[in-house]
Amino acid sequence: MANYWKIVNRLIREADIILEVLDARLVDETRNVELEKKIELAGKKVIYVINKADLVDKSFLDKKKKQIKNCVFVSSVKHYGSKILRERILMLADNDLVTVGVVGYPNTGKSSVINMLKGKGAAPVSSTSGFTKGVQKIRVTRRIMMIDSPGVIPFKRNDETKLALIGSLNAAKLKFPDIDAMALIENLDGAVEKHYGIEPGEDSEESLERIAVKKNKLLKGGKPDVLLAARMMIQDWQKGKIKIMQDSCTDAD
């Protein structure tokens, strides 16, 4: 944790603009208030890059756009939004050459966003002495220089539910998969039940039991195996199978 803040503090000093990469399905949960305060105190500009936009409904994105100032929706997998993001960076740039740093929680797609902006033709131009091993500056365009660094926000070890939902903890290793699965059901407000083709229960526990029955995850005697069903659900979520959408994403280049 201490080493992370050493790296990120240096990144904030070096960069003119910071991209904070968020998961479109868990926008609020993947924001880091402490980090954002550091950026604000340093007087640097931040762009909230909401990745995995292809996994959520357009109406959900529109709602978040009203809540979060200066955000850009992208899908690094489907290459949506890269042109818009580059244009937003240049719009905020004060100088002819702007340096951009990228931070984000594990599995929000930080590396994918960097690669999306780099493109095939980008190449490292220098290593940054005294920063950390492997950090490089990469010229993305004539005017945009990117700091490629291990700016991944660490989780607290005891935050299992968040680790599970972000995808940083394998479903097989969860101590309380049923609690994590119920948190997901509650957070997505009907999307999980829709994905598995069941009617929502009176509460998240009943919904989980119905999913177990639907997917034939049963104990002896026909009782729902909620632990097995929960691990299956978390795994489906981490693989991007459970989506919060009705329409496809239209924020293309």
Give the C-alpha separation, 4 to 20, whole Å: 15
Task: Set out the domains of the chain in order of their start, with CATH numbers.
Answer: 2-148 (3.40.50.300), 160-238 (1.10.1580)
**Mean pLDDT of each 10-residue bin along the chain, 253 residues long:** 73 93 88 89 95 87 88 89 94 93 83 81 51 69 83 60 74 86 86 93 92 94 93 89 60 41
Beta bridge partners of 103: 20
Residue with tokens 């740039």: 93
Q: What is the pLDDT of residues 105-162, one digit of tens each?
A: 877 888 888 888 887 655 455 545 445 455 678 888 889 998 876 656 655 555 677 7
d(CA 169, CA 171): 6
Q: What is the 3-state secondary structure (H, E, C) of the chain?
A: CHHHHHHHHHHHHHCCEEEEEEEHHHCCCCCCHHHHHHHHHCCCEEEEEEECHHHECHHHHHHHHHHCCCEEECECCCCECHHHHHHHHHHHCCCCCEEEEEEECCCCCHHHHHHHHHCCCCEEEEECCCCCCCCEEEECCCCEEEEECCCECCCCCCCHHHHHHHCCCCHHHCCCHHHHHHHHHHHHCCHHHHHHCCCCCCCHHHHHHHHHHHCCCECHHHCECHHHHHHHHHHHHHCCCCCECCCCCCCCC
Closest CA to 153 of 143, 162, 144: 162
pLDDT at res. 153: 64
Rounded to 10 degrees, the C-alpha dihedral 31/37/40/42 comes to -120
Identify the pLDDT of residue 122. Answer: 57
